Structure 1
Amino acid sequence: MANTSKLPDISRIPFWTVSSSKQGLGVSNLADNNTDTYWQSDGQQPHTVTVKFRSRHQIHTISFYADIDKDESYTPCKVRILTGTIPYDLQLIKDLDLETEPRGWVDLPLDESVMAHLVQIEFPLNYENGRDVRIRGLRLWGPPPNHHRFKSEMILPYTTPEFLMYESLR
């Protein structure tokens, strides 16, 4: 994970679900910090991991661990990121064909830090036309600690720390 060393890991905050899984290879394997374990889907494509936050969170980068050498046709070659507030208003924010076969952590920086209640990571295609997918780790990264961006709900675009400390109610 090259670009994420100074970003806060927000992976433990949300509630995680997956579209399907083989018995014993479920969602808990995505966040166990062990790349020898994995989530394996069991169903029709696209396979998805859905992340639900209690309140809106800013997401800077999404990283996943995949290994073509170990998993061959179970390795995804295309990834889509969708965000929204509920499953019915998801909007595509990133659609990526992997340029190289993944052998480790793949970082997916978002164009702009995204504020979302719900994030869905979709794996629609695999190498060698594989049916199920294996993901050996998944992380969500927040913005850098000193990162401030203009929020669309702000009435005035003030960005100094003195103004930003009053941007929300407790």
Structure 2
Amino acid sequence: MATPSKTPPGADPKQLERTGTVREIGSQAVWSLSSCKPGFGVDQLRDDNLETYWQSDGSQPHLVNIQFRGSCFSCWSQSRQLEMVEPSGWIHISLLNQRTNEPISTFMIQIAVLANHQNGRDTHMRQIKVYTPVEESSVGKYPRCTTVDFMMYRTIR
């Protein structure tokens, strides 16, 4: 069983996204939930507002399915199982191949809440983001242009 980790200082995904190291790909997926209370669904889970949340409504397990093009339910297997005790803040769950330490390629991510704190019924999740590393250019390995001076000259006009 893997242990989730809070995003360490200096590894803020939003900051990494601004530098071009990673990009958020959740908008490229089809999201579905096993259940939700009215007004507490996928839109609230993806709206970048930490005041809103998804709230499940029904029997467990509570599921969040994130499907990318090419998905098929018969071609997936369990990758990680995490136990979280009263989680708070951003929880970073790395999806790396355990042999090669490279990011996995997948068509579907499923988050399954099997049990709640103190045998509670409903689950609350504030946001889910899916980040992927940005691949290096095939033209060559040049440093990323992140300063304003470099950014002015990074394209041919």
TM-score by length of 2: 0.68
1:122 to 98, 109, 112: 112
* 2:128 is the alignment partner of 1:138: yes
1:93 to 79, 90, 107: 79
Matches of 1:25 and 1:9, distance apart in 2: 22
Amino acid of the residue matched to residue 68 of structure 2?
F
Matched residue, 1:107: 92
4+ runs of 1 displaced by more than 6 Å? none
Matches of 2:110 and 2:28, distance apart in 1: 15
2:32 to 12, 17, 21: 17
Matches of 1:110 and 1:118, distance apart in 2: 12
Q: CA deviation at 1:94?
A: 0.2
Whether the 8 Å CA contact 1:8–1:145 is kept in 2: the answer is no
Amino acid of the residue matched to residue 44 of structure 1?
S
Q: Quick one: percent identity of the two aligned structures? A: 33
Q: CA deviation at 1:88?
A: 3.2
Q: CA deviation at 1:89?
A: 3.3
Instruction: String of CA shifts for 1:108-138, please: whole Å, max 9, x gaps.
Output: 0113212122221111121111111110000
Instruction: String of CA shifts for 1:4-49, please: whole Å, max 9, x gaps.
Output: 3422111111111101101111111111001111111111111111
SS in 1 for 2:112: strand
Alignment of 1:1-170 (within 5 A): 1-2=7-8, 3=11, 4=13, 5-6=15-16, 7-55=22-70, 85-98=71-84, 100-112=85-97, 113-146=103-136, 161=138
Larger Rg: 2
Q: Unpaired runs of 5+ in structure 2? A: 1-6, 17-21, 98-102, 140-157
Whether the 8 Å CA contact 1:8–1:141 is kept in 2: the answer is yes
Q: Unpaired runs of 5+ in structure 1? A: 56-84, 148-160, 163-170
Matched residue, 1:166: none
Q: CA deviation at 1:144?
A: 4.1
TM-score by length of 1: 0.63
* Higher-strand-fraction structure: 1
Whether the 8 Å CA contact 1:14–1:53 is kept in 2: the answer is yes
